[in-house]
Structure formats: C-alpha cells, structure tokens
Amino acid sequence: MTSVPAAPTDAPPEPIPGQLPLIAMDDRAPSARTPRWLTLRNAVIALVVLGLAARLASLGARPLHHDESLDAWFSWRVLEGTYDGYDPVYHGPLRFYVTAAIFWLIGESEITARLLAAVSGAVVVALPVLWRRDLGSVGTVAAVALVAISPSLLYFSRVGREDSFFLLLTFLTVLVFVAFIRTPRVWHPMALLCLLVAGLAVKESVFITIFVFGGFGMVLLTQELLLAPGGAEHATGDSRGPDPLTVRRVSLVAGLVLMILALFWGEPIFRSLGVYGLILAVALGWAAWNATTRGVELREVPVLRSVLAVPVSWWLTAVWTSILLFITLFTEFFTNFSGAGTESAPYGSIENGLRAGFEYWRGEQDTVRGDARWQYYLAIIPAYEWFLLGLSTVGIGRVLRRPTLVGQTLVWWGVASFAVHSWAGERMPWLLIHPLLPFVILAGLGVQVLWEHRDSAWRLPVALVATAGLVWTLMTAYQAAYERGGEPQELLVQAGQATPEVPEWVDRLYLLDRLMMAEEGRHLTVSIDSDVYWPYGWYLRDFPTGTFAVLDTDSEAPDSDVIFVPHWEQAAIGGQLIGYTTLPYEHRWWWVPDFDVGPGEWGRWLWDRQPWDGSADDPSDCPGSLVGEVYIRDSLYELEQRYLAGRDPDGADKPDYGGPCQRPDVAASEG
C-alpha cells in the first residue's frame, strides 16, 4: 500500500512497503568483490558523463533534417526579434526561446541548434537515479546505462527537434507526480502545473501526458479506496479486504486493456474515450461507495491525502504561478498579445495557447501523417531495441508480482503511451522515444531481477545472451548516431532528412557568392524552388540575397546565377535555360519499407543495414530520394573550377546500400 505522511515535510521519506531500502549514493554495488571506488554515485556520474559525451560528439556532422532546420530558424528569429508568436503547426515557443538563448551565448550553428536536445537527453540519462530505491543499485545503474546507450534515445537526443526536451519535461512531470503521491511537498503542485505548462509550450502532446496520467490517477485512487482499511479493520488491525496484489494487478491490467480497446474501437474518438472515462469513473465511484460503507476515512486514503496535505494557499499559488508562466511563455514575455495571425493560430496569443493548440492537435488526429500503419511502432521499436524490450519484460514481470507505485507507473506509462501513439494520426520515428523511455527503465529493473537471481542454473546462458544483446545494442547505437545517422536505410531517419549534398551546396553557394563579388562586384543570385527550400532556409539565413522561389512547370525560368529545381520541374525550367551547366542533385531521402517481409530481409537489415525491395519488379520500396538538378551559369562554373584548380574538393559521402537496392550512382562509381 502506498502511504504518505500526514503533512508536507522536508524530512527524508519513510521506507515504503514493497520497495527496497533507500540506497545511499555512496553505497557500493552489492558484491564483496566490488572495488571500493565502484559506488552508485561514481557509476552514475561516469555513465552520465558518457551519455553526455555520446550526445555531444560530432553533433553538427549530420545534415539538418527539414524539421530541425525549421526549429533552428524559428529560434534564430526569436533572437532577431522577428518571431511572430506561437503557431501550433510548429509547436510551442519555449524551445525556441531556450535555443535562442544558446545562440546568443555561444553562437548560431548546427551544433548549438541541437544542443538543447543533447543536454536534455543527458539529463534524462541521469534521472532514473531518483527512483533508485525502486530499481535497486544494479537496476539503477543498468537503467542509467541503458538510457545512455539506447539507440533510439541516443539518436533523437542528437536531433534538434522538440522531442528530447519534451521527453525530459514529461519525465520530470512523472517524477513529481510520483513524489507527490508518495510524499507530498507544498511545492509539488506548483512544479507539476508549471511542468505541464512548460510541456504545453513545447508541444501539444502534453494532452497525451494528461490523458495517460489522468487515467492512471483514477486507477490508482480506485486501488487505494478498495484497499484502505475500514473503521473496524483500523481498530483490530485485521485486514479482511481483497488481496492487495490482486487488486493492483487486475486494476492495472484492466485499465490498460480498456484503454487499448477504447482507442481502437473504431467509434469517433471522443465517444470511445468518453466511454472509457465513464467506465473508470463508475469503477472509482463504486470503490468510493465501497470504502464509505466499510467506514473508511476518505481523508486517510493515500492519493486523496496527498491532495489534502497541501494547504489551499499553496494550491492557489500553484495555479497562479502556472497561469503566469503560461502568459509569459505564450506572449513572448509580455511583448506580443496579438498572436501569430496565421490560419492555425488565428486568435490572440493567450487564446492560441489555450485553444489553437488543442484544435490543431485534434485536427491532426483525423489525418495520417508519417506512417499509415498502426503497427508502425511495433515494428520499428523492436528493430532497434529488441534487447532492451526483452529485458523490460523481466521488469514488467517483477512489477506484476510486486506492483509498487513506481513499477505500476512505469508499466502504465509505457503501455498507455505505446497505445496512444499507435492510435494517433501522426506516426513518426521521433515519437517512439515517448513510449520507449519507460520500457528502458523497466529494462533496468529487469537487470536488477536477473542480478538477484544470479545464482540460478540459467546464469551462463542469460549472461551470454545479455552480452551479445549489449554488444549489438552498442553497435547499433554507434551506427545510427554517428555512421549512418543521415542515411535513409536507418529506420530512425525520417523522409525530411537532407542528403550530405545540402551542406556541401551551402558551402559552395557562399564560395560562389564570394567569387561573384570578387569578379563582378555583385552578389550571387540564387533561386531555390520552394519544394527543395528547407533546410536551406536555415543554412542560408545570412545569405546576402533572397533565395526562395516558387516555381512550377508553367513558370518562366528565373534569371538567377544558380537555380535548384526538383525533378518534376527539370524539363520545364531546365529547357528554358541557356548558358548553364547542369548538375544532378539529391535533396532529401527516405525509406518506407513494407514491414511484413521474411526474416531473411530483416536479418540482412539487422546485420548490415541492407534495405530490401518489397517486390521483384517494383523498386518503390527501396530507399528513395527527392532528386532534381542545379543549374549554374557557365561563366560562374568555370570561375569556380579555376579557383579550385589544384585542390581536392570534398565530395558528399553517399551510402552504399548493396543488395537489391544498390544505388545506381554508387554502383557506377564503384564499377
């Protein structure tokens, strides 16, 4: 049973039944042969430093993804004072403010554009230590280590989108939520509400967090009402109520199953969720009635006791503080109350924060963005995290046998997030980290369980499998983060990923501009068609001339020195150009494979990332790219070649897929 002290206190929390004793940070790992220096603190510090280094290493190397460039560009606009205000299409403004501050302090670059994500990811690595008495010494170290090396968590900690920062805010919210239920402090409600507001100011997915933990709160309260001792039981000390373990297991599993059924029922979502909420409410009501009839003092029921433990004045302070934070963030620090004025943010700033975000998010659920298949995460997460998921099943088993508050929280968080994200209209690789994180922490708990059973007969095979899985995970993380992080055959790479040609062209455009200024005394004119404009919008933010162009097959060719067009406009635009050198161009690339292929295809992909072709005669399942052409005025091209004579220009590295999807240009160059 979860218990709380009667009033907020700064005293250390009491040991809670079902949990391990509090582990001091300077405790050594539980082995007589453990060296003296190997304390929990040292292990965690070393792993966090490692996690931070892994997140910072070569952070600017991968070309920017389309979304990363937009985030960086909006942050830059905040710094320049030209940000128009919150627009839910591009999500909340908080990360733009933070990144703008980073730009201001240490400069604008691809590294600093990704720094918030990287540092957030490193903080997430450290946070499981706060649940060390629930995870155990070995489990804590394992959880920290696994968060540090999880291929997906590492990869998306190095992507300059909002996901890593939002995951950090979510994790902090969950930590405060658990701490509040366990040992309420007066500042907990304020922290909780402010974290939710901060989350909303980063991404509208905070509604998912509220839904997931709202439901969990109802299930938890139902459990506590059913298990709370009645008046007579209090007096005698005898408990004649239902078995606590059974109540917790059944309510946890039933709550999750009901949620999954509701989400995938097929009825309009608000109807199905309404039914789900009604069922939870009825269960809660019944539990409350049951408790009342047994003479339970409701004020003594743990969850309710936590709520009542915080004085009303502190609740009011929490509300006012969070409102102030909301207004501060959504009005750009009280400088813009009129809002962005876009189609998706048509109201004033405050109303946009309150309404437009939810309306946009709700509208998005009726569309399909990203992968259309609800099984998407069922395929992609195991492809990278099978080892951690395997360990997490051991952790889940421990939770079902011994359902502590933290254990239940992790299972509910993981399964519910998985279900909601699979149901939601937008399925993107970066979203997988939200359901994944609780499973990785559960994997840490699984390691603790295995450690506790280290004397069993299965010791050797388990150790061998664990070693192999760990090595594979490390290699996968390394490959995804550093070697192939920008290449399409990685399933973590989304269709907006720019090819290495893009930053190469950026450098080339600046060189061409200097040459043009030097030779003709004027700036280079560049026209980049809107279809291939991002991430150039960020890279060329300081370019002296405008580079954006809207071209189509009916357009007159622009009179620019350099022109970028996608392949569907090549014939129309290129045909009009005389005196230009034509260069092939590859802008973005992707791979959207069929998942229901045989184990051979999956095996080859797992082994060396060799993509498969879904059908023998249709190569459309192979990695593809948005190709086009770049036209450079002949005289300029000749000048550039003259300037570069005798020097080896850097060439863009292209991946070698091998197998049925071999790239023709790579095959030709190898031939």
Binding stretches for other proteins (CB under 8 A): 53, 56-58, 104-107, 111, 510-511, 513-515, 517-519, 523, 542, 544, 639, 642-643, 646-647
User: Cα(656)–Cα(318) distance, rounded to whole angstroms?
Assistant: 56
Query: DSSP per residue over 161-174, as a string?
Result: SSHHHHHHHHHHHH
Residue 523: CB minimum distance to other proteins, A: 8
Is 127 in contact with 171 (CB distance < 8 Å)?
yes
What are the angstrom distances between the C-alpha of 145 and each of 22, 87, 139, 388, 397? 20, 37, 10, 11, 21
SS3 624: strand
CB of residue 423 vs other proteins: minimum separation in angstroms? 40
Q: CB-wise, 130 or 515, nearer to other proteins?
A: 515
DSSP 549-606: E---TTSPPP--SEEEEEGGGIIIIITT--SEEEEEEEEEEE----S---HHHHHHHH
Least separation in angstroms between CB 647 and other proteins: 5
CB-CB contact of 384 with 373 (8 Å): no
The two tokens of residue 549 are 């162009």
Least distance in Å: CB of 570 to other proteins? 29
- Tell me whether residue 10 or residue 542 sits nearer to other proteins (CB atom): 542
Residue closer to other proteins (CB basis): 521 or 664: 521
| Strands 580-590 vs 624-633: parallel, antiparallel or unpaired | antiparallel
Q: How far apart are CA 227 and CA 572, in angstroms?
A: 74
- In whole angstroms, how close is the CB of 635 to other proteins at the nearest point? 13
Chain position carrying tokens 């070649």: 641
Minimum CB–partner distance for residue 175 and other proteins (Å): 23
Nearest distance, CB of residue 517 and other proteins, angstroms: 5
Shortest Cβ distance from residue 12 to other proteins (Å)? Answer: 15
3-state secondary structure of 97: helix
Query: Which residues lie below 8 Å from residue 395, measured CB to CB, with a gap of 6+?
Result: 407, 410, 441, 442, 443, 444, 445, 446, 448, 449
Please spell the DSSP secondary structure of 107-158, one letter per residue: --SHHHHHHHHHHHHHHHHHGGGGGHHHH-HHHHHHHHHHHHH-HHHHHHHT
Identify which of residues 389 and 480 has a Cβ nearer to other proteins in the complex: 480
Query: Would you call 541 helix, strand, or coil by DSSP?
Result: coil
Cα–Cα distance list, 360 to 88, 92, 344, 599 (Å) = 6, 12, 7, 40
Would you say 125 or 256 has its CB closer to other proteins? 125
Q: Which residue, 231 or 546, is less far from other proteins as judged by CB?
A: 546
- CB-wise, 105 or 616, nearer to other proteins? 105
**Cα–Cα distance between 244 and 344 in angstroms, integer?**
49
Rounded to whole angstroms, the Cα distance separating 552 from 550 reads 7
Output 158 or 421, the one with its CB closest to other proteins.
Answer: 158
The least CB distance from residue 111 to other proteins, in Å, is 7
- Report the DSSP beta bridge partners of residue 583: 630
CB of 511 to other proteins, least distance (A): 8
Name the residue nearer to other proteins (CB basis): 129 or 410.
129
Q: Which is nearer to other proteins, 285 or 544 (CB)?
A: 544
Decide whether 103 or 156 has the Cβ nearer to other proteins: 103
Which residues sit opposite 562 in a β-bridge?
A: 526, 632
Cβ within 8 Å of residue 294, ≥6 positions away: 230, 231, 232, 233, 241
Q: Which is nearer to other proteins, 267 or 520 (CB)?
A: 520
The strand pairing partners of 279, in sequence order, are: none
* Residue type (1 letter), 583: L
Please report, as a single letter, which amino acid is at residue 541. R
Q: How far is the CB of 332 from other proteins (least distance, A)?
A: 18
Please state the closest distance from residue 385 (CB atom) to other proteins, in A: 25
Smaller CB separation from other proteins, 37 or 334 = 37
**Closest separation between CB of residue 40 and other proteins, Å?**
15
